[in-house]
Amino acid sequence: MPEIRFQIQWADGSQDICYSPSLIVKEYFLPNTEYALEDFVQRSQTALKIASDRVQAKYGMPCSLALNQLRQIEAKAAQYQNMPKASVQVIKFLD
């Protein structure tokens, strides 16, 4: 399966490199696009769960890296949920 990483910027300006075991994230995010925090988390949940499910279909077990990445996104997003108009920018895909 082709894996991909994508660079994001959080509401406070900090950046992270996120991992997906599938290119499905390209269907949920666009480079140089800002997403409301809740929208970004929901898109991440959907895309990374699909990615993990694809790994499970192929290899018989879910992708722990994708699920761990999702947990990290959810945990970091929780830090900004009380910030008015918090957003996350998807900077680029790192193919």
Model pLDDT, residue 85: 93
HEC readout, 1-50: CCCEEEEEECCCCCEEEEEECCHHHHHCCCCCEEEEHHHHHHHHHHHHHH
Question: Contact at 8 Å (CB) between 67 and 45?
Answer: no
pTM > 0.85: yes or no? yes
Residue 61, CA distances (Å) to 19, 24, 66, 67, 76 in order: 17, 18, 12, 12, 26
Strand, helix or coil at 70? Answer: helix
Model pLDDT, residue 41: 98
Model pLDDT, residue 13: 96
* pLDDT, one tens digit for every residue, the chain (95 residues): 799 999 999 999 999 999 999 999 999 999 999 999 999 999 999 999 999 999 999 999 999 999 999 999 999 999 999 999 999 999 999 98
Model pLDDT, residue 95: 80
Residue 20: give the domain boundaries.
Answer: 4-94
> What's the rounded Cα separation, in Å, for the pair 24 and 44?
10
**What total number of domains does the chain contain?**
1
